[in-house]
Amino acid sequence: MVLVGLASVCACVDVSLPPQLQRTVIDAEVVDLPEAVPDAAVEADGASSPSGLVLDASPPVLLGNGLRCSAGGDCQSGSCTDGVCCSSACTAVCYACNQPGLEGSCLPIPAGQDPGGECPQDPPSSCGHDGTCDGSGGCRKYGVGMQCQPGQCTGALESAARTCDGNGVCQAGTSRSCAPNACAGSSCGTVCAADGDCQTGFLCEGGTCKSKRPMGAPCAGAGQCATGYCVDGICCGTPCTERCHACNLAVALGVCTPISDGADPASECPAEAGATCGRAGGCDGKGACRLHPPGTPCAAAGCSGTTALGPRTCNGAGQCGGAATQDCGNFACVGASCATTCAGDAQCKPGLSCTGGNCQAPTVTAPALLLRWSFDEEAGASALDSTSNAFHGTYVGDSGTPAPSALAPSVTFANPRSRAFLRAGRQAVQLATMPAALKPANNFTISLWFQASPVDTGGAELVSGGNQYLIRIAADAMRFSKRPAGASGSIPCEATVTGHLDGKWHHIAAVQSPAAMKLYLDGVERCTNTHGEDVRYDGGPTLFVGRHPESANYDFEGNLDDVRIYGAALGAVEVQALAKGGN
């Protein structure tokens, strides 16, 4: 605004000063001038102001830089910034036009200030902007030395706090090892209360971390040893849990070594009685307990069954060795030795009888023996009958014939051989036409020995008298069968048995009497019935041993020996005598 003086009055305004200092000089008299009034307040047509001055109604005068303004239109520069007329728009960050004493000039805001809140404040950990200006027209970053990450300690490594470099980078701090201590919080420990306060390989003693003791050094616990094992008061290289070993032997401290022969510092090998052949007391120098040496008596002489046993001694390996044996022959044991004479059957081998102080096999009355095929021939096609009847049989077969075999049951008489039969060849012994003597109506006994493992489909025929009387074995049974006179069909005496097809020799006997049919296995009666009827002979004429006269489903495989037919019904004692190897 321009003030116009009256006719003789000169009024001047110094616009180079800030508004609050602007004054009007009238007639050499200085008068304070109030702030400029808006153009609208100027009275038209030369109206007088309250001071009596006449105001000029000409266009307003624009303000110079530094004067207070409301808008750019008030200023000569066209820019009203920060409330004053400014030399430029002054829009850059951290610049201002109203700095005290410098009003009107667009200059950087002093460092550390941000009156306009232009700069963001980042967290110190970023080392970014700190929320103030830098004095050079930009936002200031956190200064050098500002902590951006606190110090820490991990395991046994301490890392110092990290600081800003003034350019926005969080610099790494220095680090150091805590050895021999471990971390205590965020820094290295300086004292210890337990081994856990020390690094691996160290232990805590008296508040100080010290190196663990080497192998061979004295110790009171495994925690003191670098090896982790304290054995026998010495740091040992291994757990050393083996019997008769130690780690404190002067010759090898710290090494698990066998204890010397005879020594036993830990009482690991208490002595046992010599009869056990076990520990003799002390270690053996090889890492085990010493045992009773060979020759140490462990069992006295004795006798069991029909075998005398000599005294026994230890074998040096913890076992009582075997004893020398002596067969009592026909006698049995009496006390600790074999009997040499008998007063009764109890002093004899089972199956033998005491006669005149001697043990011998009972005999069966010879006149009752109708047929006996002993199968002792070395060769030839005939099975010789050793009775006076001379009922000789023939060795037959579709493929081959029964072969001589050195396998024979243990009997009291000479019996060098048996005959081996092959089922696939239908091998058998045949008497083509049975004489009348071998067709007894009643009172007869059939006896023989067999050794077998498998049997044919329906069983195996041992003896068949024209299928009018027969003995047959099956996988789980044995049968004596006859055709009864005055009736059709056949009558069996059958028993369920096991263990007879075990490849060992077994004795079988079938007995027919007017009172009953009986069947024995190894001298034990296994079947009896009350069928005393006579046998009906209306079938085939052939006597077979080893197969059925007609069917191929009952052929035998194995060994047969000493086939006998008696013209009498033998009693149980007589059958038992035969089963025990008697004659």
Tens-digit pLDDT profile for residues 390-448: 999 999 999 999 999 999 999 989 999 999 999 999 999 999 999 999 999 999 999 99
Q: Does domain 366-579 bear CATH number 2.130.10.10?
A: no
What is the rounded CA–CA span in Å between residue 252 and residue 232? 13
What is the rounded CA–CA span in Å between residue 219 and residue 212? 10
Q: Which residue has the higher pLDDT, 486 or 362?
A: 486
Angle (CA) 180-185-186 rounded to 5° is: 90
What is the rounded CA–CA span in Å between residue 312 and residue 299? 5
The DSSP code for 574 is H
What pLDDT band is residue 219 in, cutting at 50, 70 and 90? Answer: very high
The length of the chain in residues reads 583
User: How is residue 267 written in tokens?
Assistant: 């009482």
- Which residue ranges make up each domain of the chain? 111-142+161-170, 205-264, 302-312+323-360, 366-579
Q: Return the closest-CA partner of residue 364 out of 118, 219, 565.
A: 565
Q: Which residue has the higher pLDDT, 22 or 131?
A: 131
What is the rounded CA–CA span in Å between residue 292 and residue 410? 41
Query: Three-state SS for 578?
Result: helix
Quick: pLDDT tens for 255-313.
Answer: 999 999 999 999 999 999 999 999 999 999 999 999 999 999 999 999 999 999 989 99
- DSSP bridge pairs for 108: 95
Q: Are 108 and 135 in contact (CB under 8 A)?
A: yes
Q: Return the closest-CA partner of residue 283 out of 263, 299, 313, 300.
A: 263
The DSSP code for 197 is G
Q: How far is CA 415 from CA 125, 325, 357, 374, 451, in A?
A: 112, 25, 26, 8, 15
Angle (CA) 497-503-508 rounded to 5° is: 50
Amino acid letter, residue 25: V
What pLDDT band is residue 58 in, cutting at 50, 70 and 90? Answer: low
Among 103-107, 217-221, 303-307, 322-326, the least confident range = 322-326
Query: What is the residue whose two structure tokens read 């306060």?
Result: 197
| C-alpha dihedral, 434 to 436 to 440 to 446, nearest 10° | -40
Q: Are 91 and 99 in contact (CB under 8 A)?
A: no
Query: Cis (ω within 30 of 0) for the bond into 59?
Result: no
Count of alpha carbons within 13 angstroms of residue 428, beta-carbon side: 23
Q: Are 570 and 511 in contact (CB under 8 A)?
A: yes
Angle (CA) 518-376-351 rounded to 5° is: 45
What is the rounded CA–CA span in Å between residue 552 and residue 397? 12
What is the rounded CA–CA span in Å between residue 84 and residue 74? 10
Query: What is the residue whose two structure tokens read 């790494």?
Result: 172
Quick: pLDDT tens for 361-370.
Answer: 765 454 489 9
Q: Is the pLDDT of residue 56 over 80?
A: no
- DSSP bridge pairs for 507: 449
Query: What is the residue whose two structure tokens read 């002489």?
Result: 301
CA 361 centroid distance within chain: 62
Percentage of the chain lying above the pLDDT 70 cut = 89
Q: In this predicted structure, what is the pLDDT of residue 361? A: 72
CA 435 centroid distance within chain: 75
Q: Are 540 and 467 in contact (CB under 8 A)?
A: yes
Q: Are 319 and 312 in contact (CB under 8 A)?
A: no
Q: How far is CA 542 from CA 71, 295, 390, 560, 565, in A?
A: 153, 66, 16, 19, 15
- pTM beyond cutoff 0.85: no
Q: DSSP letter string over 362-411?
A: ----GGGEEEEE----SSSSEE-B-STT---EEEE-SSS-PEEES-----
Q: How far is CA 292 from CA 167, 297, 423, 475, in A?
A: 89, 10, 57, 51
